[in-house]
Amino acid sequence: MNSKLRFAVLATAAAVSAVGAAGTAPVAGADPPAAGDACTALHATARDINGRMMWCNPTMTGAHNLVWQYGGPS
């Protein structure tokens, strides 16, 4: 494979990868979380409907599921 063809193949692959990655970017949900709602990323942050900061932390009892809470990471 000559160098011009190799460059064209690599450039095309890079462009397709960049477009694909941009198409899979997460989109913010329409509804803000409320205390006790399930979340999936430990120590993630979000604002509630009143603009107060919430953190994604495990519950202290039970199965220790991740839920939105006030008070920051523990």
pLDDT computed for residue 7 by the predictor: 63
- pLDDT at position 70: 95
Please give the residue range of the domain that contains residue 52.
35-74
How many domains are contained in the chain?
A: 1
The per-residue b/e assignment along 2-22, b for 16 or more CB within 10 angstroms, e otherwise, is eeeeeeeeeeeeeeeeeeeee
Residue 72 forms part of a structural domain = yes
Residue 13 lies in a domain: no
The pLDDT of residue 54: 96
Residue 30 covered by a domain = no
16 occurs within a structural domain:
no
C-alpha dihedral sign at 63, 53, 37, 50: positive
- Tell me, yes or no, whether 4 lies in a domain: no
Within-domain flag for 14 = no
pLDDT in tens, 3-45: 776 666 767 777 766 545 555 555 665 689 999 999 999 999 9
For residue 46, the model assigns a pLDDT of 95
- pLDDT recorded at residue 20: 52
Residue 41 in domain: yes
Residue 23 lies in a domain: no
The per-residue pLDDT for 71 is 85
